[in-house]
Structure 1
Amino acid sequence: MSVFWGRSLVAAVWVMGAVLLQTVVLSQLGLPGATPDLIVVLVAGWGLSRGSLEGVIVGFAAGLFLDVMPPAVGTFGIWPLVLALVGFLTGLLADDSQGSSLTPLLVVAVAALSTLALYAGVSQLVGARAFSWSQIYGQALTQGLYAVLLALVVLPALSATLRWVEPSSPRY
């Protein structure tokens, strides 16, 4: 199997697993503040490890799968747009995140916060007001904190999986 098909298969398994885990398990935990967003951590981690092109592709695929997975909430197409943008921007930061081991965690936290704001902004632009800006401010701190805690588990596992498929691939 070529490296391209191996990475594509790994991406599909990670995206489907993350969306299923997000919708079935994490959304039912009832934690204070926001729901931990595993999908954003996965897209940001993929963008950091493989660059902006694969970050866009994985972000779009994850958003599309999230939009068609019941219970789909909101306007169709907002999640693919937002997650593709997050994958692209974290992929652009991939070369700059070589300095410290804390930098990927900071990038994931910023990605989680920006995802929340981007989703609300795009929802408001298309006229589908899912929630108010005061709710976003209330969820922002816990969203970033949960993203960092998930990144401590997801980023090493993603890196190990990508190293297994292509030994010289991960950047962190």
Structure 2
Amino acid sequence: MTGVRGLVALVAVVVAMVLQVTLFPHVAWAGVVPNLCLLVVVGAGLVRGPQFAMLLGFAAGVLLDLAPPADHVAGRWALALVVVGYVAGRVRQDVRPTAVSVLVTVAACSFVGTSVFAITGLVLRDPLLGVGDLLEVIAAALAWDLLLTPLVLPLVLGVFRRLEHDRAMA
């Protein structure tokens, strides 16, 4: 059963990544696309806890780092989504998920994940991002993630809860 849960989580990440790199660039706002992979990792963290979410975040981040049209040093999204998985998983341990706590968690994770990605770009001297652009990119990413939360997260949370319920029944 553990393999099935991992496989379903990986399929969710792959679907999110494919949509993120193929469909969503057409609706980019200020050059920023919605981060569906981040939302999947947050959902995993809220249901399964930090360890699972960190592993899923690493896998999702590596896929994003290597998926075309990646134009940055590989590993930046992997690091950012590992941190996101940890934060979301820790929230699970401290707070029962309600609509408000989920939105706050998504906002915090979006801010932290995008900030880690952007700051690593500065540290690694990524030529595409200047210091002045950081806040605009972070704000646009935060807005996208919060706008998509009511559409994406209930589905993701439902899938992960269903898998947890099936594990408890076995």
TM-score (ref. length: structure 2): 0.89
Among 74, 77, 82, which residue is 2:75 paired with? 77
Distance 1:85 1:22 in 2: 20
Alignment of 1:81-160 (within 5 A): 81-98=79-96, 100-160=98-158
Give per-residue Cα distances to partners, 1:49-101, cap 9 Å, x unaligned.
11000111010000111112111110011111111111112111112231642
Range that drifts further, 110-119 or 126-135:
126-135
Which residue number in structure 2 is paired with residue 18 of structure 1?
16
Give per-residue Cα distances to partners, 1:114-146, cap 9 Å, x unaligned.
222111111222333430222121233332222
Give the aligned CA root-mean-square deviation in angstroms.
1.9
Kept in 2, the 8 Å contact 1:120–1:129? The answer is no
Give per-residue Cα distances to partners, 1:9-39, cap 9 Å, x unaligned.
1111101001000000111214356321111
Q: 1:60 to 1:99 in 2, by over 3 A?
A: closer
Where 2:165 maps in the other structure, the secondary structure is coil
Moved over 4 A (4+): none
Is 1:65 matched up with 2:72?
no
Higher helix proportion (structure 1 or 2)? 2
Kept in 2, the 8 Å contact 1:116–1:136? The answer is no
Kept in 1, the 8 Å contact 2:42–2:84? The answer is yes
Kept in 1, the 8 Å contact 2:47–2:161? The answer is no
Among 34, 46, 49, which residue is 2:47 paired with? 49
Where 2:119 maps in the other structure, the secondary structure is helix
Distance 2:89 2:127 in 1: 29
Structure 2 residue runs without a partner (length 5+):
none
Among 1, 25, 49, which residue is 1:27 paired with? 25
Q: 1:30 to 1:72 in 2, by over 3 A?
A: closer
Query: How much does 1:163 deviate?
Result: 3.1
Aligned residues: 167
TM-score (ref. length: structure 1): 0.88
Which residue number in structure 1 is paired with residue 161 of structure 2?
163
Query: How much does 1:148 deviate?
Result: 1.4
Percent sequence identity is 28
Distance 2:52 2:97 in 1: 22
